[in-house]
């Protein structure tokens, strides 16, 4: 009962946050990032479309209410929503996965989720998708369709099964390494020291930063557009010139800043056992 209550609180928090962050639900036109990789999410909640001759892959769904926005973005780019064959997620929080069951029911796509996030993906608690997972993923597993291959990298902490997706795309005669960060963030309310529901949470964040720092990255993307300055880069792309999403330096700077923030909070909580992120 306590754990179910915590899950419901998480869902409620996501809903309240969404009400206060207009960009979470603001529609923007979908656009090509590079190669066969497209952005079809909202102004901040990222959804990625990978197109192939054998159908398409979606990473994330956003909230249920955002699914029509995602569908419209796909179709305005000239692709068919019904061609969605595989659905993946960055992590099991409602702002990224609440709509997965809707998309699965609409298209018949197969849902594939990192093992530790499967219980949350299949949960029917408030704010959870209640979607049956067709394939349970593990760290290093690959997802392949129509010549495209994505690798699931376990980057836990934000959730136990938080997943960073990597792939390669071809653009202008170059092979680009893509990194779509799941989340390295310690949200308000998180407990890093003495967390009874997730005892190894701090150690998992340490592992995550080690993984992220080791990944080769040309195209820097993430579960939220704000991670990688998406809206500003989109305006630069419209103006022409080099692809602004090719940003290795920005990737390294973001990971470094997020790790520094985590370590400062971890040190603070060690001095104040029982406190939560966001408490003074």
- The class of domain 2-271 in CATH terms is alpha beta
Q: What is the pLDDT of residue 12?
A: 45
User: 120-154, pLDDT tens digit by residue?
Assistant: 999 999 999 999 999 999 999 999 999 999 999 99
Give yes or no for a contact between 14 and 127, defined as CB atoms under 8 angstroms apart. yes
Q: What is the pLDDT of residue 8?
A: 41
Both tokens assigned to 114: 């990192």
pTM (2 d.p.): 0.92
Q: What is the pLDDT of residue 279?
A: 72
Over residues 213-240, mean pLDDT: 97
Instruction: Tell me the pLDDT of the chain averaged across its residues.
Output: 93
User: 91-123, pLDDT tens digit by residue?
Assistant: 999 999 999 999 999 999 999 999 999 999 999
Three-class SS of residue 224? strand
% of residues, the chain, pLDDT over 70:
92
Domain ranges across the chain: 2-271
Both tokens assigned to 24: 């979470």
Q: What is the pLDDT of residue 4?
A: 40
Strand ranges of the sheet holding 135-137, from the earlier edge strand across to the other edge = 31-34, 37-39, 48-52, 55-59, 84-88, 110-114, 135-137
Between 7 and 105, name the one with better pLDDT: 105
Residue 278 confidence class, pLDDT cut points 50, 70, 90 = confident
């Amino acid at each position: 009962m306590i754990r179910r209550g915590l899950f419901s609180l998480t869902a409620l928090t996501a809903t309240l946050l969404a009400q206060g962050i207009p960009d979470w639900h603001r529609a923007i036109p979908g656009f090509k990032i590079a190669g066969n990789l497209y952005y079809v999410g909202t102004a901040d909640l990222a959804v990625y479309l990978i197109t192939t001759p054998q159908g398409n892959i979606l990473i994330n769904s956003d909230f249920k209410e955002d699914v029509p926005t995602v569908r419209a973005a796909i179709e305005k780019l000239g692709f068919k929503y019904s061609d969605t064959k595989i659905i993946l997620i960055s992590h099991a929080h409602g702002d990224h996965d609440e709509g997965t069951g809707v998309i699965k029911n609409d298209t018949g796509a197969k849902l594939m989720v990192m093992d530790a996030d499967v219980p949350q993906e299949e949960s029917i608690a408030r704010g959870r998708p209640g979607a049956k997972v067709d394939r349970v993923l593990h760290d290093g597993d690959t997802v392949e369709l129509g010549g495209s291959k994505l690798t699931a990298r376990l980057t836990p902490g934000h959730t136990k099964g938080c997943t960073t997706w990597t792939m390669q795309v071809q653009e202008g005669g170059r092979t680009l390494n893509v990194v779509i960060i799941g989340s390295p963030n310690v949200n308000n309310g998180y407990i890093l020291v003495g967390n009874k529901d997730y005892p190894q949470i701090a150690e998992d964040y340490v592992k995550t930063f080690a993984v992220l720092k080791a990944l080769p990255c040309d195209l820097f993307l993430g579960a939220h557009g704000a991670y990688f300055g998406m809206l500003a880069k989109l305006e630069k792309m419209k103006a022409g010139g080099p692809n602004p999403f090719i940003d290795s330096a920005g990737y390294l700077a973001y990971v470094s800043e997020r790790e520094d923030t985590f370590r400062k909070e971890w040190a603070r909580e060690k001095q104040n056992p029982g406190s939560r992120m966001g408490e003074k």
